[in-house]
Structure 1
Amino acid sequence: MHLVPADRAGRRIIDDHRVCDAIAAVGDSGDVARWAGRFAVLSDPNRLALLLAIHAAAPISVTDLSVATGMNDAAVSQALRLLRTGGLVTGERTGRVIRYRLADPVIHSLLHLVRPPHEAP
């Protein structure tokens, strides 16, 4: 029971090795919060659609993302602003056009699980 914090040491435990395994799996609360933030971004259907489109067709512009997802340019730009702030995508400017690609390798791997590139619907 070496992993049980002192403030929980007095609680009833049935399987101490399972409690230690569970505490180790939860890990650092900061890491849990960062993962929750990633999942919060993925929980919005429009942002997820954008990430899937970027995953399959990067680098891709706002206008092209708008056509691909059925969203208007303003909505795409707003969602991309959140995705950039969260470090999930990055933009490359060529003249007046900014094209986006994934910046987070973990999200890239997760998107492979959601829908591998060029998978038929």
Structure 2
Amino acid sequence: MTGHAHPVDAERVRRARERVPAAEDVGRLTAVLGLLADPTRARVLHALEEVQELCVGDTALALDVTEDAAGYALRVLRTAGLVSRRKEGRVVFYRLADGFPRPLLEHCLRQLTSLTRDQEED
């Protein structure tokens, strides 16, 4: 609690309290956003958005990273539930998980990238 004896704007405080997500939900959100803080994992998600499905080797070639780096990124993203996989013989293909919020990639992350790029140019 703060040192305020009374809220400056009681109505805004009430609305904020009603609409701010629970700490547990925000904890899950920040954990997912933390996964996206890794450049390889973020690029994997973008690549899967563009071509729908890739195996580890093709992911590595597309991102110009090692197969170990691509495989690790895909494993972390799969464990988090952001990516799913299917096997075809000995080859495992990865894709964005059903229900993945595509606007996150299509708009939000690209917009944030652009916003931060604009700040660097100023």
Normalised by the shorter chain, which TM-score bucket?
Answer: 0.7 to 0.9
Pairing 1:31–2:32 present? no
| % identical equivalent positions | 35
1:100 correspondence with 2:122: no
Separation in 1, partners of 2:100, 2:29: 10
Counterpart position of 1:75? 69
CA separation in 1, counterparts of 2:88 and 2:41?
23
Between Structure 1 and Structure 2, which shows a larger proportion of helix residues? 2
Structure 1: give runs of 5+ residues left out of the alignment.
1-6, 116-121
For these two proteins, the number of residue pairs brought into alignment is 108
Distance 1:22 1:86, change over 3 A: same
Which contiguous aligned blocks of 4+ residues in structure 1 show a shift greater than 4 angstroms?
A: none
Corresponding residue for residue 50 of structure 1? 44
TM-score normalised to the size of structure 2?
Answer: 0.79
Q: Kindly report the root-mean-square deviation, in angstroms, between the aligned alpha carbons of the 2 structures.
A: 1.8
- For 2:58, give the aligned amino acid: D
Q: Give the gaps of 5 or more residues in structure 2.
A: 111-122
Identify the range of structure 1 (58-67 vs 22-31) with the bigger mean alpha-carbon deviation: 22-31
Q: Which moved more, 1:25-34 or 1:88-97?
A: 25-34
SS across alignment from 1:40: helix
Q: 1:87 to 1:29 in 2, by over 3 A?
A: same
Q: 1:65 aligns with which of 59, 65, 70?
A: 59
Q: Could you report, residue by residue, the CA deviation over 1:67-117 in whole angstroms, capped at 9, with x for unpaired residues?
A: 1111100111111111011000001100111111111534422011134xx
**Using the alignment, how far apart are the partners of 2:9 and 2:80 within structure 1?**
39
Contact 1:88 1:107 in 2 (8 A): no
Taking the aligned partners of 2:97 and 2:5, their CA distance within structure 1 comes to 43
